[in-house]
Amino acid sequence: MSVTMSSWLLELNEREPAVLKLIGQTLSESCIAIWLHLSEGTIRYYAFTVLNKPEITYRTQAAILVFQYGLDR
């Protein structure tokens, strides 16, 4: 089965894919902030924008999409 990447994934800004990938690995916002060397508030903002995309309504869905679209690589 071929999986086509959703258009909103292609429109993510430069940081959102990294945040989405780390959310998909079930890291907390504080861990993501440390990993990406950004403030926790900045990560909360990116997490908010990513988790408000059309196909994502909760963090578990984000994790599924990360693996489905191969963003975990």
In a domain, 4, yes or no: no
In a domain, 1, yes or no: no
In a domain, 54, yes or no: yes
In a domain, 27, yes or no: yes
Q: How many structural domains compose the chain?
A: 1
In a domain, 49, yes or no: yes
Write down the pLDDT at residue 2: 41
Local mean pLDDT, 10-residue blocks, the chain (73 residues) = 64 88 90 97 93 82 82 72
CATH at 45: 1.10.10.10
Q: What is the 3-state secondary structure (H, E, C) of the chain?
A: CCCCCCHHHHCCCCCHHHHHHHHHCCCCHHHHHHHHCCCHHHHHHHHHHHHCCCCCCCHHHHHHHHHHCCCCC
In a domain, 17, yes or no: yes
Range of the domain at 19: 12-68
